[in-house]
Amino acid sequence: MAAILGGVRIVLILAALLAGAWLVTQTRGARAEDQLTKIAFEERRGDSAALLSADRLLNPDRRPDLFEGVILGKAGDFKGAVAAFQRVTTAEPENIEAWGLLASAAKRTDPRLAAQARATARRLSPPVR
């Protein structure tokens, strides 16, 4: 009986350590996303590459790619921005925000792609009454 309780304790300790590590990682990602928001939309400076890496760690969400695209577009790298937004539209074809951002970035590099992205964004947008 004591051996079983010892084994259960070990399993519980390991589960608690894993949960703690996951929580720390998610907290770090949330802080990185907050800083990326400031860099992308509030004219702040920062190490966006490190923040993007922290935000992507164990994060299935595609928001880091959207942040990357916005930051690259603000820096004038519209081809890089288009590539970032295309990663999102490929992974999440129903993401209207990504299609709109892709249309905006692509109008400077590929007007045909921009028109297709705008059409997709319009198709995905809910009807206005």
DSSP string, 13-71: HHHHHHHHHHHHHHHHHHHHHHHHHHHHHS-----HHHHHHHHHTT---SHHHHHHHHH
Q: What is the pLDDT of residue 121?
A: 95
Beta carbons of 93 and 102 less than 8 angstroms apart: no
pLDDT-based confidence at 4, cuts 50/70/90? confident
Residue 26: is its pLDDT beyond 80?
Answer: no
46 or 103, which is more confident? 103
129 vs 125: CA distance, rounded Å: 12
Separation in Å, CA 24 to CA 13, 52, 64: 16, 16, 18
- Radius of gyration of the chain from Cα atoms? 20
Tokens 């937004």 map to which residue?
Answer: 85
32 or 83, which is more confident? 83
Q: What is the pLDDT of residue 61?
A: 83
CATH topology of domain 60-124: 1.25.40
- What is the DSSP-derived secondary structure letter of residue 108? T
The structural domains of the chain, with segments of one domain joined by +, span 60-124
Q: Exposed, middle or buried by CB within 10 Å (0-12, 13-18, 19+), for 71?
A: buried
pLDDT-based confidence at 21, cuts 50/70/90? confident
5 or 92, which is more confident? 92
Predicted confidence (pLDDT) per residue in 43-101, tens digit: 767 778 888 888 777 778 888 899 899 999 988 999 999 999 999 999 999 999 999 99
36 or 12, which is more confident? 12
Q: Across all residues in the chain, what is the average pLDDT? A: 87
Q: What is the pLDDT of residue 106?
A: 96
Residue 119: is its pLDDT beyond 80?
Answer: yes
